[in-house]
Amino acid sequence: QPVNVEVVAPESVAPGTPFEIEVRVELERGWYLYAPTGVNAGQGLVETSVSMRDHEYAQFADARFPEPISFGAYDILTGEVVSLFQPVRFHPRTPSGDMLIRGMVEYQTCDGDTCLPPIEHPIRVLLRVED
């Protein structure tokens, strides 16, 4: 795989305080992901997405993606590192302690000649909720 995925999150958070989980997608030179613009999906390609599992205390907003680049008939995300940001906020009445949140990043990588099968990469983050 010409891709390495790393999840970066704070070690601890306060209830009610917004924060972000960063999904860092490192790409080998020449490879790219399909941007979530709708253009690519209409052509049968898998657009990059982040989805989080429901959690008793965590609330998730829509993930933020870098500005796409137009590449012929496609919209792509490219560069050495493509960072996707998942906003999260624990309810103000969340009890202190360790919280596990889970999700998935789905993507398809191509290099202009070859497209690899879509990948579903799990997101697993253990955070400490502290007042």
Mean pLDDT of the chain: 96
Strand partners, 101: 125
- If you average pLDDT over residues 107-115, what whole number do you get? 93
Residues 6+ apart with CB under 8 A from 103: 50, 51, 52, 53, 60, 86, 122, 123
Supply the CATH classification number for the domain 3-122.
2.60.40
List beta partners, residue 96. none
pLDDT at 110: 94
pLDDT of residue 1 exceeding 90: no
For residue range 36-68, list pLDDT tens digits in order. 999 999 899 999 999 999 999 999 999 999 999
Q: What is the mean pLDDT of residues 123-131?
A: 95
Sign, CA dihedral 5-10-16-18, equals negative
Record the pTM.
Answer: 0.94
